[in-house]
Every structure is written in C-alpha cells, then in structure tokens.
Amino acid sequence: MFQAKRDQCYIAIDWGTSRLKAALCCTLANKSVEVLDEAECAGVQKNKLDFASTFLQITQKWRDDYGTLDVIMGGQIGSSIGWHQSPYVPCPVEPADIVTGLVNFECEGHNINIVPGLSCTLANGHFDVMRSEELQVLGWLEASASHRNGTYLICLPGTHTKWILVKDGVIQMFKTAMTGELFDLLTHSSILIQAPSDVFDANSFDLGADFTLGSSSGNLIHGLFSVRTKQLFEQLTPTAANSYLSGLLIGSDVRAAMYAQEWDIKEVERVIIIGESHISDLFKRVIKKQSSAVDCFHGKQATVLGFAAVRQRFLAQEWS
C-alpha cells in the first residue's frame, strides 16, 4: 500500500437508529471520491455492543489493511442516545457552518469527528431537527457549482421525509413528515392492511395520491379508512391496498409541502429528490401531478459526497 494513497483514505459512517452503514473511502487526484469497501450492521438502538466495540468490529479489516485512519460519523450516533452528543446548528446554514459544529474525539488512536445536526424554527413556532440528512444536502450542493445558485426544494423521502429549502447554497428551512413510519405502522399494526406486500399497483397508487392531493386539510385522517372499505366492497384487492395506502400518504405529504407556510412554491425553480430509486420514483410521480419541475439524485452518491465535503473543509480548517 502506497503511503500517499493511504493518506487519502478515511472511514465514513452513517450511524442511524436502526442501521450503521460504513464506507472505506479514498480521495483521488481529481478530488473525486472512490468507495473502496462497505460494511453494515445494526444501528444505535439495535446493536448489543457498546459504541467503541461496534466501531472497532465493523472497521477491523480496514484498520488491519490501512492502519490508523481518520473517521467521520453522522446520524443518531451524535444524538442524546449516541456515542458523543453533537450540537444542532440553527438554520439558515451555509455548508462551512457545519464544520464548526464537529465533535472531535479519539478511539484506539483513530481521530473521529461527528457531524452536527441542524435545527430550525417553523412558521408555527414549532422546532424541527435533522441528523445525517444534512450530509446528503451538502453532497448534492458539492456535485455541481450550478446547485449553489437558485432556489430549490429538496425532498429526502424515507421513514421521516425531509423537505429542505435551499437558496443560493444556503439551507434556509426544513420540515419533517413521518410518511414512511406511518406507512409501516399502518401496514403492520392496523386493520387497514390484511396482506402486507411489496407488489406495486400503479393505478391504486394514483387513486390514493389523487384523493389526498385534491383534499383539504384534515382529509387524510378521514380518508385512511377507505383503505379498509375499498377492500370490503371489492374496489381494491388486499395486495393493491398497499399501493393505495402508499399513494394516500405520499399524496398528503407532497400536498403539504407544496402549500407550506415556510416557502412559496412558485419561487422554487426545481424540486430535487435525493434517495433510493424506488421511493424517489414514487415521490416524483406524485410531484409531477402538481406540475412542478423535479429531478432525482441518488442518495448513496449524495451521502458519499457529503462526507467528503466535510472532510475537505475540516482539513482546510486545520491547515489554515
């Protein structure tokens, strides 16, 4: 192993509540990033080992091959239930501000930095927070200089969907919707779904999305029971009911984002969806029903670029 190459390697860990995703990364001569290897295990609340033991176990092979490496972590590992608590940096936030909130410590000689989360105050006075999603936004901003000019609404679909307003490269505000968690709860812990299924039915999905897209506030709660009644009266098969429920929830989520008090959707040049292909395609399908310009960006690529950007800024800060 050449010393120069080893010096450009580092470990990036997205350490969430349920999953830990680690990557051995290398910065190339052209400043791009190559992922040399990856590993996964249970996250903050599901791993029975202590945090130090988990880190040492998941990175054992890389440490054997490369020696002592810098480590960057993001996600719930920096929360109150994590290893070392990192602060919430309040919005509006420029990418450089994120580096100022890094929490630094050592483990078995490894220099570790935990990325801080972000916070904001909504129009109704409520607070909102995120951890790890800021890395994906940062990665998208780093992907092209054009991304740092203009007004964008970034959608990060998932268990807790994030809608993030970015203006001229600055994260202005964001809102969280519990869309994915609600889908999981209603699918597995309610009377609505009798046969959980991953089979996608486009017509049923569109039927659900169109219902909540065209509904006034509050109709999601009243409309959810139609998942049950449409099966009773044979308008939906038990399998198709899953897609209909998904459409109801994503339609409600998208509609709320389009009419949010925190931003004027007419001023947004484009909606950017960052995530895995399947869920991104579902959100894109619904957003296009609202006649909004929308593009997709892969979540894994955004995360890798985000970690790399944090490391580059941290090293520049050390060298300055």
pLDDT of residue 315: 80
User: How many Cβ atoms are within 10 Å of 241's Cβ, its own excluded?
Assistant: 26
**177-229: pLDDT as tens digits:** 999 999 999 999 999 999 999 999 999 999 999 999 998 766 898 899 999 99
C-alpha 182 chain-centroid distance? 16
Query: What crossing angle do the helices spanning 238-258 and 277-289 adopt, rounded to 10°?
Result: 60
Prediction pTM value: 0.94
pLDDT of residue 218: 63
Candidates 310, 255, 261, 302; CA nearest to 93 is 310
What structural domains does the chain harbor?
A: 1-118 (3.30.420.300), 132-320 (3.30.420.310)
pLDDT of residue 46: 83
**Alpha-helix runs per DSSP H in 37-194:** 51-58, 60-66, 95-100, 133-143, 179-188
C-alpha 103 chain-centroid distance? 21
Residues 6+ apart with CB under 8 A from 316: none
Helices then strands, counting H and E runs in the chain, come out as 12, 14
Question: Rounded to a whole number, what is the distance in angstroms from the first to the last CA of the chain?
Answer: 29
- Give dist(CA 220, CA 213) in Å, integer: 10
- Stretches where the chain sits below pLDDT 50 are 1-4, 319-320
Provide the phi-psi class of 189: left if phi over 0, else alpha when psi is between -120 and 50, else beta: alpha
CA distances 77 to 20, 52, 158, 183, Å, are 9, 11, 19, 25
User: How many Cβ atoms are within 10 Å of 191's Cβ, its own excluded?
Assistant: 9
pLDDT of residue 217: 62
Cβ burial, residue 169 (10 Å; 0-12/13-18/19+): middle
